[in-house]
Amino acid sequence: MSTNQVTALMDEMAVFVCVVEAGSFSAAARQLGSTPSAVSRAIARLEKGLGTRLLHRTTRKLGLSESGTQVYGHCRDMLGSAQAALAVSGQLHDTPQGQIRVSVPKAVGRFVVHPHMPDFLAQYPHIDLLMRLDDRYVDLIDGQIDIALRITDQPPPGLMGKRLFDIRHLVCATPAYLARHGTPSHPGDLSQHSCIYLGEEPGDARWKFRHDGKTVSVDVQGRYAANHTGVRLDAVLRHLGIASLPYFTAKEALQQGALVRVLPDWTFQTQYCGALWALYPPMRRLPAKLRVFIAFLAERLADDPR
């Protein structure tokens, strides 16, 4: 097996050690902040790469095969050597260095995180960033991700994290559009307007608002829908209608007066509202590169309303 092949399987080897020591795929998944299916796929990739079966699977327990016993010993030695090497270099404790693989929702990555990354890279010249912008759920093991930025009420089981800031949504329009078509005074008035919405699911055209403990839903319609925040922002700035946008996207246009809030006394409710967390698998001590990245984001975003 070539060096490249060995390197490609190192993550799977670490997962294999965790499975053996945890006693099951589900227990290993909880420790790694992943899912049992993702752990199972990692073991399957390792078995395929090594060309041998490592585990005997039954409905009640897992057992090591003869070759699995030998492979486990070598993999455990590999992890021990890696930890020793990291301790010597100071990467775990003192010197922030290496690559950070970050998963982040598209709009948050483009409008919130990316603008601060030049300063981060300048401040930490020995750290490289690989940022994957994707609105879909990304498993930290399957996706080989160090940190996932996700909108959630609290860290899911098996993950640790730090709350960064709250994301809120609003509806807005240009003064020119409202002068031409009128300004809604109640959510029900939106049914008579051209609304620019997400358009991924039927429920995206059903907008919900809350005011003084009362919730109101309205089915909106319009000639333009787009599942990209930047496109919806551009569309509303071109006077195509009233748009639903996260505040961080519309903030600059609102400050400049190019946009105004519609129904400012009502709170717009959507599944994309909530807290943004930096999530990572539980570990005894965060590597320095992850520790400084999370601290940097928390400091930059703490006082900037979203």
List the domains of the chain with CATH numbers.
Answer: 3-89 (1.10.10.10), 98-167+274-303 (3.40.190.10), 169-269 (3.40.190.290)
Identify the H or E element spanning 148.
strand 147-151
pLDDT of the residue at 6: 65
E runs forming strands in 214-281: 214-219, 242-246, 260-261, 267-269, 274-280
Residue 94 clears pLDDT 70, i.e. is over it: no
Report pLDDT for 54.
92
CB 49 within 8 A of CB 11: no
Which residue is it, tokens 């996700």? 150
Supply the pLDDT for residue 31.
Answer: 81
Query: With contact defined as beta carbons under 8 Å apart, do 261 and 253 qualify?
Result: no
Answer yes or no: is pLDDT of 90 > 60: no
The better pLDDT of the pair 288, 285 is held by 288
The tens digit of pLDDT for each residue in 97-136 reads 999 999 999 989 999 999 999 999 999 999 999 999 988 8
Distance in angstroms (rounded) separating the CA atoms of residues 262 and 172 = 5
pLDDT of residue 259: 97
With cut-offs at 50, 70 and 90, classify the pLDDT of residue 203: confident
Q: What is the pTM of this model?
A: 0.66
145-to-40, 239, 256 alpha-carbon distances in Å: 17, 40, 38
Q: Give the tens place of pLDDT for each residue, 216-257.
A: 999 999 999 998 899 999 999 999 999 999 999 999 999 999
Quick one: pLDDT at residue 135? Answer: 83
pLDDT in the model for residue 272: 74
